[in-house]
């Protein structure tokens, strides 16, 4: 049984490893091992995760069963979209997927932003499982981008949004 709780600094090495494993399992066939390793090193390093953990108006949660960190999720109030929260990350280790962990982490994040009127996210269009997950949780496609995440990642994404409250 996994419980969703706020992440702490002591979780970050496990979260980094979780993200590496999950990203390779999900994206190696789409982008190649080298590109995934490059993005994982940049976006999922312990220092990058530590910066997210310290961010104001954000929530960083993990799914913990006392032995394993089975999932992680991170969302924050948008700095550019008025009254919007951004779901930046929601990942569950492949061996723990389809057990309700993603649903439970998302349910927690939905309650963390009382001033937000909507939540937005970016998802790889070929990640059909993730797109279906978000659609099942009330998100609809509102646009597309050629550069998911920061800068010029070269990773295309669907932009999805869900009303909150």
Query: What local confidence, expressed as pLDDT, does residue 39 receive?
Result: 86
Within a domain: 21:
yes
Q: Which domain range does residue 107 map to?
A: 3-116
Total structural domains within the chain: 1
Has residue 149 been placed in a domain?
Answer: no
Q: Average pLDDT for residues 128-144, to the nearest whole number? A: 95
Q: Mean pLDDT over residues 68-85, rounded?
A: 94
Predicted local confidence at residue 91, as pLDDT: 96
Local confidence band at 81 (pLDDT 50, 70, 90 cut-offs): confident
| Contact yes or no for 55/108 (Cβ under 8 A) | no
Q: How confident is the model at residue 60 (pLDDT cuts 50, 70, 90)?
A: very high
CA angle 69, 59, 81 (to 5 degrees): 135
List the structure tokens of 142. Answer: 């509102």
Would 155 be classed as within a structural domain? Answer: no
Asked if residue 86 has pLDDT above 90, the reply is yes
* Mean pLDDT for the chain overall: 93
In a domain, 165, yes or no: no
Is residue 58 situated within a structural domain?
yes
- Determine, yes or no, domain membership for 53: yes
Q: What is the CATH number of the domain that holds 68?
A: 3.40.630.30
Question: pLDDT value at position 151?
Answer: 67
Q: Please check the confidence at residue 150 and state whether its pLDDT lies above 80.
A: no
CB environment 138-152: b (16+ within 10 A), e (fewer): ebeeeeeeeebeeee
Residue 148 has a pLDDT of: 77
| Lowest mean per-residue pLDDT among 49-53, 64-68, 144-148 | 144-148
CA distance 60 to 54: 9
Query: With bands split at pLDDT 50, 70 and 90, how would you rate the model's confidence at 49?
Result: very high
Average pLDDT over residues 18-29: 94
Of 8-12, 15-19, 65-69, 151-155, the range with the lowest mean pLDDT is: 151-155
Q: Is residue 137 part of a domain?
A: no
Decide if 106 is inside a domain. Answer: yes
């Amino acid at each position: 049984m996994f419980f969703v709780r706020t992440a702490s600094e002591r979780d970050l090495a496990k979260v980094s490893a979780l993200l590496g494993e999950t990203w390779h399992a999900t994206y190696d066939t789409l982008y190649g091992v080298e590109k995934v390793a490059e993005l994982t090193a940049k976006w999922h390093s312990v220092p990058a995760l530590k910066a997210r953990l310290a961010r104001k108006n954000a929530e960083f949660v993990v799914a913990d069963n006392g032995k394993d960190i089975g999932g992680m999720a991170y969302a924050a109030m948008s700095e550019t979209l008025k009254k919007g929260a951004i779901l930046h990350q929601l990942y569950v280790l492949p061996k723990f997927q389809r057990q309700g962990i993603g649903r439970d982490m998302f349910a927690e994040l939905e309650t963390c932003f009382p001033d937000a009127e909507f939540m937005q996210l970016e998802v790889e269009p070929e990640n059909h499982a993730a797109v279906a997950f978000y659609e099942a949780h009330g998100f609809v496609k509102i646009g597309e981008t050629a550069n998911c995440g920061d800068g010029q990642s070269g990773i295309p994404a669907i932009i999805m949004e869900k009303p909150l409250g």
